[in-house]
Structure 1
Amino acid sequence: MSRPARDRGRMSPACPATFHGTDSAYRYGCRCPHAREHKRIHQKRCREGRSAARLADGTGTRRRLRALAALGWRWQDIGDRMGVTGSAVAILAASTGLVELATAARVQIIYRDLSTRLGPSRITADRATAKGWHGPMAWADIDDPTCEPDNASPDVPDVLVVDEWAVGEAIAGRLAADRLTDVDLAEAMRRLLADGLTPGQARYRLRLTNAHARRVIRAINTPTHERTRAA
């Protein structure tokens, strides 16, 4: 009896494959970023005559997840992108041992995307700070176990950019407004209005109250929002 293929979760919404995230899944049509990375690592090790390593040091993975929490990204926000539950991400962030190589690669991809913007939860950021966790700017080499964090470095990134994934999910009606930052919510509203929707239709799509929708619409053309979008 053949062993069932392991599904590591869809990361590209349009990916048509039935399972995702490994070099095997890539051979059967998965084109998610972590499947591509897993395939690249597997091929590299095969060329070098080495068997594919399944485990890697978990220091960088743990620090990346905690750094994202320090920016206000909740475990569920990260889990949505990894194709796992928020509880699974929390366990990974608390682990002190080795992690699967494919999991480390997935966290790296998500970290590169989210570490340039603030997350939607101030509570998560405050809790991370209380635990002594450090943001991305504190690490000279986040993967080096001997590297000490620079406490003088700010947790807030110099450049904040729009989270295209979150905006797209909100516009499609698949992500509630409370899961977005103010910048992303304003951008989603701006795009819906630019597409010809009325304020009422846009409010319904984003699942906002009348008062909340009016605040978002007022924020769209403020200088602060324009500067953030341009960044």
Structure 2
Amino acid sequence: MAARPRILLVEDDPNLAELVRYNLEREDFEVETTPDGEEALLLARETPPDLVVLDWMIESLSGIEVCRRLRRLPETANVPIIMLTARVEEEDRIRGLETGADDYITKPFSPRELAARVSAVLRRVRPALAGGSLSYADIEMDTAAHRVRRGGKAVPLGPTEFRLLRHFLEHPGRVFSRERLLDAVWGQDTDIELRTVDVHIRRLRKAINDNGGADVIRTVRSAGYALDAD
């Protein structure tokens, strides 16, 4: 029997934490909870979860800072993160995505909706872990080990950027609109805004160009993006 997916829930409202835990466990997830950002980092480092549900406003260390640090740790760099936030302004949501979150859900929310979002994110991530390798120019992707190298140097990517790059590597040179990328990378049932694609493209660009390589992600005005070394 396959192991149940492990969820780390970081939430300092005990009533909400218990409600979310109950609904996730009912959907056959294994849930570990903590109200504290520092403890969340320790738990995630000791035993990396399959996914982190992280409240933006927690005591001691903010959810944004926890998200940032999780992305920097080798053990958790590829773990999907869903942020819970009472902030409804678009700029706040964009900031969360730019920090490293893969999805967000605004309060108040239905715990059943959160459970559905968790399932959807895990479904999107797991196909990317299937065996095989892809390459283009000096970029190499090991899809089984979930690793990317450029010019022989490791490139740390979050789960969404990994799926974006994989999609580009499977179709080099082809231009994809934001709508097509949303369908391919996030799934057709998503309600994520188009601007989210731009945020993740920026994150992908920064990661793969960090060592001074030429920018291989081409922006095609009024059309979209393509992987194009020329």
TM range (shorter): under 0.3
* TM-score (norm. length: structure 1): 0.28
Q: Which has the higher strand share?
A: 2
* TM-score (norm. length: structure 2): 0.28
Q: Which has the higher helix share?
A: 1
Q: Which has the larger radius of gyration?
A: 1
Q: Which protein has greater RCO, CA pairs closer than 8 Å, 6+ apart?
A: 1
